């Protein structure tokens, strides 16, 4: 894959972004598999762990800050992802 600096045109940029999107989706798929496993070990009362969520958000904000990525955007993305995985855990618990 090209680095951003070696892209010669918009097509190069878009192809690189598409490749990154595929990697992100693979990682989301893997994360979701772990959410499925977590649901095996939790009760409904344990699904939302505010301290854990806050720790995750703090960690990704710090990581974003050190890598010159907007920490507010990263927090928004992570909170939304966590929200959806929480919804999935409740659904898995309801289905079991």
Is pLDDT at 42 greater than 90 in this prediction?
yes
How many beta carbons lie within 10 A of that of residue 23, not counting itself? 10
Q: Which helix (H) or strand (E) holds 7?
A: none
- Whether 2 contacts 16, CB under 8 Å: yes
CA 49 to chain centre: 17
What's the confidence (pLDDT) of residue 2? 74
- What CATH code is carried by the domain that includes residue 20? 1.20.59.10
Specify the pTM. 0.90
Is pLDDT at 53 greater than 80 in this prediction?
yes
Q: How many domains does the chain have?
A: 1
Quick one: residue 65, left, alpha or beta (phi over 0 = left, psi -120 to 50 = alpha)?
alpha
* Axis-axis angle for helices 10-41, 71-95 (nearest 10): 40
Could you list the residue range(s) of the whole structural domain that residue 8 is in?
4-95
């Amino acid at each position: 894959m090209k680095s951003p600096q070696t892209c010669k045109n918009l097509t190069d940029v878009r192809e690189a972004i598409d490749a990154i999107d595929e990697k992100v989706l693979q990682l989301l798929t893997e994360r979701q598999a772990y959410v499925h496993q977590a649901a095996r070990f939790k009760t409904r009362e344990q699904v939302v762990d505010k301290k854990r969520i806050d720790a995750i958000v703090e960690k990704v904000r710090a990581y974003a800050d050190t890598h010159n990525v907007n920490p507010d955007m990263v927090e928004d993305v992570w909170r939304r992802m966590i929200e959806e995985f929480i919804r999935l855990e409740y659904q898995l618990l309801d289905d079991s």
